[in-house]
Structure 1
């Protein structure tokens, strides 16, 4: 009798493709936010470093998850779940970066 383990479980192709679409859309939003922020006429200061670090790490995590999802192995449940967790970490880092950027701008305005 053939035993199934977690490595044998596959993700439905349609579900994986939808996840890839979501990752691509959120990644493009993240990149466009960084572009808009970089074009901000207010000069960058040391206070902006935490926001920049969070944004950079968040984009890197989202890009990593997209690259993993585009591979054939991402149909395996274990690989899919790991890429999904990496993506969610990236989203949380981007949210923290956006919040840090807003706080840094507010602090600069109040000076």
Structure 2
């Protein structure tokens, strides 16, 4: 899949990722898909502090970690707010723990682009 730099149409994205360097890499990939401003949160609690900005968000990338149910709760809250979500994890066992679009870490750019496309399409 060739990256479509209009996929996100300059709209903001939310990245919930504990590792800052991984979050920056995801931001770079999202920029190739047309993301505008990026909001960063290290965990679900920080993401909730940004809730006033959620209506503008085109997409959220949310990290799931074993033993942390708050990531799954955040996923459900974002989906309930009508925000497409891509879930990331390094733990393959978590793919069956929640419905949604997953990518496995480390995240190849093509896999993220495909996941973003699926998440945006599932919202329609």
- TM-score when scaled to structure 2? 0.27
Higher relative contact order (CA 8 A, sep 6+): 1
- TM-score when scaled to structure 1? 0.30
| Bigger proportion of residues as strand | 2
| Bigger proportion of residues as helix | 1
